[in-house]
Amino acid sequence: MAKRKKETEEKKNNSLAENVHIKGAGLIQDEVITDTLTGNYMPYAMSVILSRAIPEIDGFKPSHRKLLYTMYNMGLLQGGTIKSANIVGRTMQLNPHGDAAIYETMIRLSRGNETLLYPYVESKGNFGKAYSKNMMYAASRYTEAKLAPICHELFDDIKSDTVDFVDNYDNTMKEPVLLPVTFPSILCNVTTGIAVGMASSIASFNLKEICDTTIALMKNPDHVISDTLLAPDFVGGGYVLYDKDELEKIYDTGRGSVKVRAKYSYDKKYNCIDITQIPPTTTSEAIIDKIIELVKTNKIKEINDIRDETDLSGLRITIDLKRGIDPDKFMTKLYKMTPLQDSFSCNFNVLIKGRPMVLGVKRILLEWIDFRLECVRRRINFNLEKKRKQLHLLKGLSKILLDIDKAIKIVRETESESEVVPNLMIGFGIDEVQAEYVAEIKLRHLNREYILKRIKDIEQLENEIADLEATLASKNKMKKIIIGELENVSKKYDSGRKSEILYDTSEDVEEEVVEVADYPVTLFLTEQGYLKKIKTANLRMSGEQKVKEGDRMLPEIECSNKDELLFFTNQQQVYKSKVDDFIDTKASVLGEYVPAKLEMAEGEQVVYMAVLTDYSGYMIFVFENGKLAKVDMSAYATKTNRKKLINAYSSKAPLAQAMYIKEDTEIVLCSSAGRMLLVNTGAILPKTTKDTQGISAMKLKKNQTVTSIHLYREGEFEKAWRFRAKNLPAAGALLSDADIAEQITF
């Protein structure tokens, strides 16, 4: 035992030694990064492009094709539904991915999910909804599915050698490379995919319009696509905004965008709007969240409530309006501010014979016609060979008719079974295939009546073969077959347009004028940036103004609710807002924190608030170094609705104080030395450059600064001439005892 144990340990050690001394193991080698990328990443990129993300001319990605073909092999084109889990499990014979990925593919192809305009899977159970991210689908063990009737157009020709078949991933069964679709399915359903370095986004079109366009193109290669193909059509409905130039661009190049608008109805009884159809690029939750955000930021004030009332009957988002709101004008506003109007970006990237190509609608249809012509040619060839073989057998049978007794005698007198076929070949001058066929005829069929009935088919077969050969030789005849198929498909499966086309949208271009209520208000701003807006009529009933601990209330400002606000910050920026953007409140609250409401940068604080009726007047900036800048308010007016302007004032010296004046007046500059200077702003030339450094106004000694400014009050100084200067800069004057006493009385 000890000896055996020792031998075992030696073998183990030898094995370990061999593993340790693998050639090149553990060595670090230098590699060129481009070689590594080419060798490792490129195969992955090509696999994603060719075998995963980009659809082919039959309109399917490999995952779609494998699933549908599996369902076809399971006999789900007829009969009832079966459990989705069963289908998913069987599909894994062709698709070596997880069951979750396969099931999600089935979800997207199903009628219940409402992703496709023409779904390929009939569903039973909860398959979720494409227009809602919260309405999740049930597990595959609960739902059931089968193929939709339109799948007859995908598979009816598949057994006639119309397409190539290849081995599946483990070489245990065959699968089709493409499906022999009888209509241009590539343009009838939305298809999106993201590959490596490229993507695909194909809009869906109405089946009848696509079939009519394809027929017209087969009859006339110069056919204008837009004459028969009006616009894309989406399963979610809504309105497609007609833009001729953009559609022509999509039809020609395969790139562009289509604007889609939600559809709504107004319920006068309950004063609410019901949105029932939305663009395909958004969800009900995204729309509701955006509207709630706009309400919170005070950009929308017309609604009382919004809720999702989607049920088994379909999508419905309900918006309760305030009294007196025009629903059509309000929806026009929502279209501009929310995903209720969105653009579907088109990028018609299709795999054509293994090469990704971005093609316009016309080129895609021409490629599909070529593909379908090849399918029809192969089907005719298949049927022709089949009929030729049948004719060949029947011609051999016709020779037996000449002497049935002879045939029976040959079979009876042949000693060996293996000699029956050769003897029949010699006896009747027929080949081996014909002799095999004759030899396999049942004894009961060796009568004149049966053989005559079969021989009558010879003439019919010869005529059919002649017709098939003539069709095969004529491209026009094959096109007529395709046209007939397209007309049949259009008649059977067209259900009308889902998306309406809006041709005239000029009225929507006009800028909406938002009516703001006009009433007197009083603004209270604190040093730390809290703002309260209180109706002036309610001030009598208000108590003491509440402020945060350590904060202090600045002088109140009376104005109108329609006025505008400019908030100048410590980072030389100005934020534009409206008084109406702030909610009416009361004295017992802290107010709204301006830096947060206007989304200021971290550490940015309000240093001055200007209240404007219009952009007339001037901004006065006095800096600690004694300079004074006078900026025309027109410098802060913008044609666009920009909310923030940079370089609102000079950053060359620290700001002592800012002030807005409607017209030229007298102001008082105060220094840290106790001196005051009386300046008339009319003597200073206004600038239109916001960040001007201004002029030197007050002479300062070393370590002295300007601390503040204020409007001159009549009688503020006993001898005002002492504080006025003939020329600037000036040092100003110190207050006399009488001036100090006068200051205390103010």
- Three-class SS of 514-547: CCCCCCEEEEEEECCCEEEEEEHHHHHHCCCCCC
SS3 state of residue 2 = helix
> First CA to last CA across the chain, in angstroms?
115
CB within 8 A of 220, min separation 6: which ones? none
Report how far apart, in Å, the C-alpha atoms of 133 and of each of 284, 290, 349 are. 8, 15, 27
Sign of the torsion formed by the C-alpha atoms of 446, 450, 455 and 461: negative
Query: In degrees rounded to 5, what are phi and psi of residue 235?
Result: -60, -30
Query: In degrees rounded to 5, what are phi and psi of residue 328?
Result: -70, -45
The two structure tokens encoding residue 609: 């608030």
The two structure tokens encoding residue 451: 């053989």
pLDDT at 544: 84
Where b means 16+ CB within 10 Å and e means fewer, 699-719 reads: bbeeebbbeebeebeeebbee
SS3 state of residue 627 = strand
The catalytic residue among 41, 44, 137, 142 is 142
The two structure tokens encoding residue 440: 């396999």
Sheet holding 121-124, edge to edge: 82-83, 144-147, 121-124
- The dihedral region occupied by 258, where left means phi > 0, alpha psi between -120 and 50, and beta the remainder, is beta
Report how far apart, in Å, the C-alpha atoms of 47 and of each of 30, 52, 95, 200, 439 are. 27, 7, 14, 15, 53
Asked if 118 is an active-site residue, the reply is no
β-strands 239-241, 500-502 pairing: parallel
Where b means 16+ CB within 10 Å and e means fewer, 51-79 reads: eebbbbbbbbbbbbbbbbbbbbebebbee
pLDDT at 648: 93
SS3 state of residue 129 = coil
- The β-bridge partners of 632 are 618
Say which amino acid occupies 312: L
Q: Determine whether 464 is exposed, middle or buried from the number of CB atoms within 10 Å of its CB (0-12, 13-18, 19+).
A: middle
CA distance 33 to 35: 5
CB within 8 A of 321, min separation 6: which ones? 271, 272, 273, 302, 303, 304, 327, 330
Q: Using an 8 Å Cβ cutoff, are 88 and 98 in contact?
A: no
Q: Determine whether 666 is exposed, middle or buried from the number of CB atoms within 10 Å of its CB (0-12, 13-18, 19+).
A: middle
Sign of the torsion formed by the C-alpha atoms of 354, 360, 361 and 362: negative
CB within 8 A of 654, min separation 6: which ones? 623, 624, 625
Closest of 275, 281, 192, 184 to residue 234, by C-alpha? 281
CA distance 120 to 145: 10
Where b means 16+ CB within 10 Å and e means fewer, 259-286 reads: bbbbbbebeeeebbbbbbbbbbbbbbeb
pLDDT at 514: 57
- The β-bridge partners of 709 are 669
CA distance 232 to 39: 42
Place of tokens 């009546």: 449
The two structure tokens encoding residue 315: 């999508």
What letter would DSSP give residue 53?
I
Angle at 285 (CA atoms; ends 284, 291), nearest 5 degrees:
95
CA distance 116 to 104: 14
Q: Determine whether 515 is exposed, middle or buried from the number of CB atoms within 10 Å of its CB (0-12, 13-18, 19+).
A: exposed
pLDDT at 22: 57
pLDDT at 231: 95
* Strand intervals (E) in 101-231: 121-124, 144-147, 165-167, 174-176, 191-194, 199-202
Angle at 545 (CA atoms; ends 544, 551), nearest 5 degrees:
130
Helices (H), 326-447: 327-337, 361-401, 404-413, 420-428, 432-439
Report how far apart, in Å, the C-alpha atoms of 575 and of each of 331, 594, 646 are. 28, 10, 9
Which residues of the chain have a pLDDT value below 50? 16-20, 507-512
